[in-house]
Structure 1
Amino acid sequence: MYFTKADIDARRARLAAQWNNVLKNDEAILVYSGYPVQKPGGLDQTYPFLPHPSYYWLTGRRREEEVILYNRHTGWIEFQKAWTREQSVWEGEKHDLLVQEPGEDIQHLKSYMETQRFSRVYQLGQVPGNPPVEDNALTLRTLLQQTRRVKDAAEVKLIRHIAGIATYGYRELEQMIRPGVSEMEVRLAFEMQTFRHGGHAVPYDTIVGSGPNAAILHALPTTRIIGNNEFVLVDAGASVYDYCVDITRTFPSSAAMDTRHKALYELVLSVQQDCISKTLAGTFWHDIHNHAAREFTRGLLSLGILKGDLSGLIEKEVIAAFFPHGLGHLVGLHVRDTGQEENPSPRIYSGARLRVDIQLEAGHLITVEPGLYFIKALLEEPGFVKKYQEDINWNELEHWKHIGGVRIEDNILVTASGNENLTETVPKATHI
């Protein structure tokens, strides 16, 4: 079993210590697991149920229509839903309880709340009806997010195991990517290996982009056949009980790539390694992102794609046309873990909007995924061309557009003494 009662109790104790600074003695918090979502026109069909991560993290349970209550005096009380005979007939035994702790029947929640007469009840998780969130509820939710983004030893162990599963998939790709193979075949090969070695699901649609398609940030694989001297960008992960890894690798299709492909790959790899070394406790994430943008600007200037003064190019944020996304995001329990909700109006750094804008702490798990792309929609937009007419060597750029792009992504655990790359076993291209 991945989590024990001791793991769950330790999580609750960490969170209660934070909530007790805000919660009054006669107030309570309810965290909901969520409800099945009906498929449009699907009659009795629903989408596969995903428990709200906050409820799941606090209980180790994955059943719908459950609630956990917290009050400073009563502590934690679980209101659970029994597996029915009808469900057993249609679905069989369900392996959805990572921690089996007996609780109250969910049918008793209403009467219990009437008896307690709390002065105020805050609702978190997947709340029925999605009511507006009050200020105090937002504070409590933010404290929950901040607490659970610090991964405990059991979570790290599980994520490290999942990284090992994904490694099998990428080793397969390292061997099979070559001219004549389609993008869809690449996807199937990766997913088959991860499922074969214990993965439950993929945490997001597998991204495969070859040649010019590597410039599409979320390229869904097509029947396009990989050609000679092309990059194949694969952004794919593995998932077990909603915990996951999020990894990107860019592989060459040919044994010997041309000098431009080689230079672009080496620039992205160098920046990624540099940014990983800076992913340390106490560092602000936007500073590392700005560092990547600055080094990319310097690199494109040295390659002759940009022209002019380095400081002026940095000030104009021209790099956003080639590096339009943030450097990374928190990962672990779902592919987009905590970090976004308390940042409803993301700031712009080096031309990119950062949804995660935090100071790193020991226990944070974050992706480091710099990328450089030649995106037609950006580079050929008339307003953009006019704005950066003097900053880009447009003639030189024409020689690079067919490359598509390069992204390299690893999952970095911040520790008290530095960091650990949990996806280090996943192979990277070595013969470009």
Structure 2
Amino acid sequence: MIHTRIDMHEFVARRAALLATMPDNSVALIPAAKEVTRSRDTEYLFCQDKDFYYLSGFHEPDALLVLVKNDPALSMTEAATETVLFCRDKDPEQEVWHGRRVGAEQAEIQFKVDLAYTLDELEQILPMYINGKQTLLFAQGAQAEFDNLVFACLEVLRGGAKQGLSAPNTIVDIRDSIHEMRLIKSDAEIAVMREANVISGNAHKRAMAFAAQGQFEYQVEAEILHEFAANGARAAAYGSIVGGGENATILHYTDNDEVLVDGDLLLIDAGAELSGYAADITRTFPVDGKFNEAQAALYNLVLESQIAAIETIKPGSNFAIANKVANEVLTKGLYELGLLTGELDTLISDKACKKYFIHGLGHWLGLDVHDVGDYQMDENKNQLRSFKAGMVMTIEPGLYIDAEADVDEKWQGLGVRIEDNILVTETGYENLTTTAPKTIADIEAVMAK
């Protein structure tokens, strides 16, 4: 169960804002997630559909949110808008096995909807809300089973012309409208994300203090997850990456089952999920607590590029600008270290650092780790969307040198990534990642204790 730290009135306001974007005489359908079976009669920890949660705050599976915008020209007696929730009914026998349910009666009060029905009433009542509407808005293709339900309702309405029934003749994907809203975080959302970052940063700090020769990567992961849960974040926002040595060069390494070795770097990409919101932080540090010369050189280069990219963040800037700065710093640094050769100006214009910097600089962050929102890419895949206050993103440059790369042995098998979570403010930016040590001096000081 998500214990939301956001007041229910904000969810009401979000629904009102979405309704304002809908045409008159329309209905929007936003389904909850379904439970997913892990094996036989056990399920994965439930994760609510984030669009549904964003609009409802409701955390039970199988529910449905219906938003209705009536046409005042067609009826003077109907309310201008209606918000309806379908949810599981109270069931003492099921609840004693699987946990308490809110039930329709309490859902109407607790989640401030106009009406709530049980799921048993869905097939009978849902067509009534779609009937006579000009436009139907829903995320077609997102859930096959829900698609089938919607199209069955439409067939009932299309076959009922003699009974005065009619189906919408326009279907619109609702996701763009919701995702534009989700891209700009409210003060309440930002407060939750700050807290998620504090918890996650402390977990990285704990991992630094704990890691040592002979431990397994999963033991370090356990320390991180313990710190999350002990501070109210029941789950990680994604599968934690704890990669020692050459494993640090695998971008989405999650086996986390190898032993740590002195002299190796350890890359940890881990973030907590708090009240539905994700943190996404990466730190890289030496298992033995001391960077050697090559490790320090590569680490400081990545850190320099990250700081330079973060400094570009402000309203009106964009990812393309931050990328250009980061690529220039990395390319120049790799040239000076002898890892790139040729004419420096040509190397910079060719983005030669991408030989070792093999992923993007960052992404939107929020209810999802790779959060929703258009990047407005041009034909060259430059991300040109202007930053606005309230956007939250990651900035995460990295360098990854394969163990078999044709470079000096001291560079082989080194992987470094540094990732912070950045909020765009009215005047610039705020780095939310404040508790995870980042400079070599700070990391070594933590590991020396």
TM-score range, shorter chain: 0.7 to 0.9
Structure 2 unaligned blocks of 5 or more: 71-79, 152-168, 445-449
Deviation (angstroms), 1:359: 2.5
Q: Name 1:65's counterpart in structure 2.
A: 62
1:332 to 334, 346, 366: 366
Matched to 2:11, the amino acid is I
Over 3 Å counting, the alpha-carbon distance change for 1:115 and 1:226 in structure 2 is: closer
8 Å CA contact retained: 1:4, 1:99: no
Matched to 1:229, the amino acid is G
Partner-residue secondary structure (3-state), 1:165: helix
Number of matched pairs: 401
Partner-residue secondary structure (3-state), 2:367: coil
CA distance in 2, matches of 1:209, 1:169: 16
Deviation (angstroms), 1:292: 1.2
Q: Name 1:3's counterpart in structure 2.
A: 6
Q: Name 1:193's counterpart in structure 2.
A: 227
Describe the superposition over 1:187-230 as per-residue Cα deviations: whole angstroms up to 9, x where unpaired: 11111122122211011111111122211112225443322332
Partner-residue secondary structure (3-state), 1:129: helix
Q: Name 1:361's counterpart in structure 2.
A: 388
Q: Name 1:388's counterpart in structure 2.
A: none
Matched to 1:129, the amino acid is E
CA distance in 2, matches of 1:230, 1:95: 51
CA distance in 1, matches of 2:171, 2:343: 49
Matched to 2:412, the amino acid is K
Deviation (angstroms), 1:286: 2.3
Q: Name 1:383's counterpart in structure 2.
A: none
1:428 to 425, 428, 438: 438
The alignment status of 1:53 with 2:47, answered yes or no, reads no
8 Å CA contact retained: 1:36, 1:64: yes
Q: Name 1:100's counterpart in structure 2.
A: 111
Q: Name 1:280's counterpart in structure 2.
A: 314
Partner-residue secondary structure (3-state), 2:316: coil
The alignment status of 1:84 with 2:91, answered yes or no, reads yes
Q: Name 1:175's counterpart in structure 2.
A: 209
Matched to 2:396, the amino acid is E
CA distance in 1, matches of 2:384, 2:242: 28
Q: Name 1:75's counterpart in structure 2.
A: 81
The alignment status of 1:119 with 2:134, answered yes or no, reads yes
CA distance in 1, matches of 2:28, 2:269: 38
Task: Map residues 36-47 of structure 1 onto 2, 5 A cutoff.
Answer: 36-39=35-38, 42-47=39-44
Task: Map residues 281-360 of structure 1 onto 2, 5 A cutoff.
Answer: 281-339=315-373, 358-360=385-387
Deviation (angstroms), 1:272: 0.8
Q: Name 2:19's counterpart in structure 1.
A: 16
Query: Alignment identity in percent?
Result: 29
Matched to 2:31, the amino acid is Y
Describe the superposition over 1:39-92 as per-residue Cα deviations: whole angstroms up to 9, x where unpaired: 4xx444433332211110001001122222223334241223134223311023
Task: Map residues 91-170 of structure 1 onto 2, 5 A cutoff.
Answer: 91-93=98-100, 100-101=111-112, 103-105=115-117, 106-116=119-129, 117=131, 118-124=133-139, 126-129=142-145, 131=147, 137-138=172-173, 140-170=174-204
What root-mean-square deviation, in Å, do the aligned CA atoms of Structure 1 and Structure 2 show? 2.9
8 Å CA contact retained: 1:183, 1:223: yes
Describe the superposition over 1:267-321 as per-residue Cα deviations: whole angstroms up to 9, x where unpaired: 1111111111112222121221232122211110111111111232234343222
Over 3 Å counting, the alpha-carbon distance change for 1:94 and 1:29 in structure 2 is: closer
CA distance in 2, matches of 1:183, 1:284: 36
> When the two structures are superposed, what TM-score results if normalisation uses the length of structure 2?
0.81
Partner-residue secondary structure (3-state), 1:219: coil
2:420 to 399, 410, 415: 410
Partner-residue secondary structure (3-state), 1:161: helix
Deviation (angstroms), 1:429: 4.5
CA distance in 2, matches of 1:181, 1:38: 33
Over 3 Å counting, the alpha-carbon distance change for 1:258 and 1:95 in structure 2 is: farther
Over 3 Å counting, the alpha-carbon distance change for 1:56 and 1:228 in structure 2 is: same
Matched to 2:91, the amino acid is T
Over 3 Å counting, the alpha-carbon distance change for 1:263 and 1:142 in structure 2 is: same
Q: Name 1:269's counterpart in structure 2.
A: 303
Over 3 Å counting, the alpha-carbon distance change for 1:107 and 1:91 in structure 2 is: closer
Over 3 Å counting, the alpha-carbon distance change for 1:317 and 1:171 in structure 2 is: closer
8 Å CA contact retained: 1:360, 1:414: yes
Q: Name 2:155's counterpart in structure 1.
A: none
More deviation, 212-221/151-160: 212-221
CA distance in 1, matches of 2:189, 2:297: 38
Q: Name 1:390's counterpart in structure 2.
A: none
Structure 1 unaligned blocks of 5 or more: 381-393
Task: Map residues 186-265 of structure 1 onto 2, 5 A cutoff.
Answer: 186-265=220-299
Partner-residue secondary structure (3-state), 1:186: helix
Larger radius of gyration: 2
CA distance in 2, matches of 1:422, 1:44: 40
CA distance in 2, matches of 1:156, 1:212: 36
Deviation (angstroms), 1:99: 5.5
8 Å CA contact retained: 1:123, 1:137: yes
> When the two structures are superposed, what TM-score results if normalisation uses the length of structure 1?
0.84
Over 3 Å counting, the alpha-carbon distance change for 1:299 and 1:346 in structure 2 is: same
Partner-residue secondary structure (3-state), 2:360: coil
8 Å CA contact retained: 2:134, 2:170: no
Partner-residue secondary structure (3-state), 1:124: coil
